[in-house]
Amino acid sequence: MVFGSSAMVCIKYGPIQKLPNPNANGNKDVVMKLNNFCLAAVVTPHKYLPILSAIGTGMLLMTLQTTSAQAAGQYYNCANATGCEKIDSKYFTSSHTDTKYPVVMAHGLGGWNQLFGAIDYFYGIPDTLMRGGSEVYATKTSSVNNSEVRGEQLLQQVKTIAAISGSPKVNLFGHSQGGLDIRYVAAVAPKYVASVTAVSSPGQGSKMADWVIDQVVEGSAKSGYPEGEFNASSKAVIGFFDFVGGFMDVGSGIPFSKVQEQDGWKSVKGLSTDYSAQFNAKFPAAMPTSYCGQSADTEVNGIKYYSFSGVGQTTNILDPIDAVLSLTALPFKNDLNDGLVSACSSRLGYVIRDNYKMNHLDSVNQLLGQIAWGQPNPKTVYRDQVNRLKNAGM
């Protein structure tokens, strides 16, 4: 392209062609031809400078877009049997959740990472975090077992994630029983952990778990069975738990031959108040010393501890799970709860809030995003927490 000369210039997505100027009138004409179409314009020097500026700005924006495309947020699914597989990535739309360390998410009782390649346990949350720059890993432990078994499985995945990402530490998020699992990892291998965020997690046990245990034990005793043995109906319930655990493993992409250990009885006992007292004695970091108290320490061994949870059971009339949670809330009586975990039991470290209008599944944006109307969106709550971690240098 030639400016300021009496010549016609054509451009055809290829070499520039210089053509005779049909208007040799002394004006500084520029004629551009694109795909066999010539556009002529009389351009004086002071008029074509804005054009050059616009071209330069466009090239700069293209460069910035290319740079952001190279720094996309990543989403991986992990399991000990299959390793970690990248399943999605998103270009940054902001750097709001671009943390120093990866975000690792641990599911609760009966949970999964991504079910049949379609439904995230933390529904829509990895996508939200990716768009802000996060590297997200959803883990898969035994769906049905206690937190020492599951915690050890999770630790192996954290080590794998550290190797894949090249990051020495991770930010752990655990929902429900997953909150106990991440506390286990932080206690036994603190060098891998930058932060712990427990979401609606029964740190001091669940009264619903206590009720189930009472029904099983008392029912079996009435049927004449000695302690530690169960009647037919109790065995059926425990067997169903085991089946659900295996199903969630397979649904998460784990081969039949590598399905993880499932134990329905251990899982229920592991959520009881008695077991939780023993667990907390072993792993006391950032736990309150009384049932409805607050933690004196929010940072232990260089690890920052956080928690958030909700109260209420019926939060959306379109969500069929709400009716179930209204029934499971009955053992709590007047103790504020989300249907499975009380607000007091959920407290760990720095309590962001324990009274969101969220039931137990709302706190992971389930069922399929059916949450309370006019209340904080769970995806926003996670996004804000990850931003909090970013601002704390994690």
Which residues are the active-site residues?
176, 338, 360
| Distance, CA of 37 to CA of 56 (rounded, Å) | 24
Q: Going along 69-144, which residue ranges are E strands?
A: 73-79, 83-90, 103-106, 114-115, 119-120, 135-138
The DSSP element (H or E) to which 290 belongs, if any, is none
| Distance, CA of 85 to CA of 75 (rounded, Å) | 8
Contact 205, 271 (CB under 8 A): yes
* Dihedral over alpha carbons 20, 24, 30, 33 (to 10 degrees): -40
> What is the DSSP track for 137-195?
EE----SSS-HHHHHHHHHHHHHHHHHHH--S-EEEEEETHHHHHHHHHHHH-GGGEEE
Nearest CA among 173, 208, 209, 218 for reference residue 194: 173
254: buried, middle or exposed (CB in 10 Å: 19+, 13-18, 0-12)?
Answer: buried
Side-chain half-sphere CA neighbours of 325 within 13 A? 25
CB atoms near residue 7 (< 10 Å):
17
Contact 306, 350 (CB under 8 A): yes
Length of the chain: 394
| Distance, CA of 23 to CA of 325 (rounded, Å) | 82
Instruction: Kindly state the tokens that stand for 98.
Output: 């671009």
- Angle, CA of 360, 385 and 308, to the nearest 5°: 35
